[in-house]
Amino acid sequence: MRRLIDAAKGHPLALFPDFRRLFVGRVISAVGDKFFSIAIAWWVLSSAGQNSKFHLGLIMAVNVLPVIIFGPLLGTLSDRSDKRRVMLGADAARAGLVLALGLLLWSGRLNLVWLYSICFLISGFGPLFESAVAASILRLTSPEKMPQAVAADASVLQLSNVVGSALGSVLMAAAGVAGAFLFNAGGYAASFAAVWGIRTGLEPEARADSSFMAEFQEGLAYTFGNKPLLWLILTFAAFNFFVSPILILIPMIVKFTLNESVTWLAVFETFFALGSAALAGLLSFRSLGGNIYRWLFLSLLLMGGCFAGLYFSPNKYLVCALLFMGGAALGGGNTLAITLFQSTVPDEMKGRFFSVLTTLAYAVMPLAFMTNGILAEKFSVGFCLAMNAAAILALSAVILLIPRVPLAAEE
């Protein structure tokens, strides 16, 4: 018990008030994001007619296109700007856009064109906010506590997914899809208030006068010139092509394979998120060292095995267990990789590096969503699960073969 108390007292969330404010704000806004994603998936599958699977894949593709198109430019803007102001601006813009989407639905004027357009704009502010967060973690904590802070920050999405998934069906039953949209707008407002309370200076690093394009090119040169980091990024981009479709396959499993209600969609997403949150939270209390590449290999192997299990499982409760294990594998792998990047990339380069990382990892997602939407329409949801499982298992071996980041960065 004493060790547990000491670990809690030494946790970054206990030691650094500004990091705690950022964490709480991100959890609240991300819970709203989860309500939003469940509401959109169910609205599309229920309202888009015979081509609903294709439209679900398309709307998910639209949500990641801004990351691909604008990510590196927004990362450069973040590096040149006050990170606190960047986060405040992104939260304010997203709150206004989600509110507009909710009002359109409430008034009965929402259609697929409006949905695609506003979702594209909302997603455009995501990489701006996230690159500012990535470049702020070290300043809001300390070099010694940075790995645990990265793990805690990585658990934000998973923790919020647990809450959002568990309560998503309850909220939709009580307030409808429009209510979920309005709650998400309130989440961004709460995040805005939390970031407003940060007192640590997050101004850009002092640097020689250089143009926006010069710094943009410098970020690209650093990322593409560092071969071990680039190999790891590209491997994860390929891996992401076969893992990201789980975001549309879970609703399809519920709607078309098991013929269940939105309640089971919330249950399945809760178990998937709970696995990620549990492992990421555990890693936030531990010093991350050893052979990170070996642990990455094991996490990818486990994820592939869970996809294969979903193909063979007709039982709802077994699906819950498989999604929990798959979520844990995904959460652990992401946390380990981000910790390695945070330990390696210079602080003044992080906004640009993480925006390029996100762009490359997300670039495959629109094609992945649309491909799986089409294949699910033409063949079956099970076919998509089997195809992705085989590819993930094959790709896991690549982690053991790619060049290593210098060991000093891993320790």
Number of CB atoms found within 10 A of residue 287's CB:
10
75 vs 130: CA distance, rounded Å: 9
Is the C-alpha dihedral spanning 188, 265, 278, 352 positive or negative? Answer: negative
**Superfamily in which the 15-199+211-410 domain is placed by CATH:** MFS general substrate transporter like domains (1.20.1250.20)
CA nearest neighbour of 338 among 350, 329, 326, 348: 350
Is the C-alpha dihedral spanning 29, 33, 39, 43 positive or negative? Answer: positive
12 vs 20: CA distance, rounded Å: 8
What are the sequence ranges of the domains in the chain?
Answer: 15-199+211-410
Question: Taking a C-beta distance cutoff of 8 angstroms, is the pair 43, 177 a contact?
Answer: yes
Torsion of CA 24, 25, 31, 35, to 10 degrees: 160
In the chain, how long is the greatest CA-to-CA distance?
61
CA nearest neighbour of 158 among 334, 403, 340: 334
CA nearest neighbour of 133 among 33, 214, 202: 202
Question: Taking a C-beta distance cutoff of 8 angstroms, is the pair 199, 20 a contact?
Answer: no
Instruction: Take residue 115 and report the two structure tokens written for it.
Output: 């949905």
Q: Give ∠ CA 343-344-349 in degrees, rounded to 5.
A: 105
Number of CB atoms found within 10 A of residue 153's CB:
25
In tens digits, what is the pLDDT along the chain, a chain of 411 residues? 566 565 566 777 788 888 888 888 777 777 777 777 777 777 777 776 667 767 777 777 777 777 777 766 766 676 777 888 888 888 898 888 888 888 887 887 878 788 888 888 888 787 778 778 777 877 888 777 776 776 677 666 666 666 665 666 566 666 667 777 777 788 888 888 888 988 887 777 655 456 666 766 776 777 777 788 788 778 878 888 888 888 778 878 877 777 776 667 777 877 887 787 777 666 666 655 556 777 788 888 888 888 888 888 778 888 888 888 888 888 777 777 777 777 777 766 766 777 777 777 777 777 787 788 888 878 888 888 888 888 888 888 888 888 877 644 343
Determine the distance from the C-alpha atom of residue 277 to the mean position of all C-alpha atoms in its chain, rounded to a whole number: 12
* Cα distances (angstroms) measured from residue 192 to each of 14, 118, 178, 354: 21, 20, 22, 22
Which residue type does 9 have? K
Question: Taking a C-beta distance cutoff of 8 angstroms, is the pair 74, 135 a contact?
Answer: no
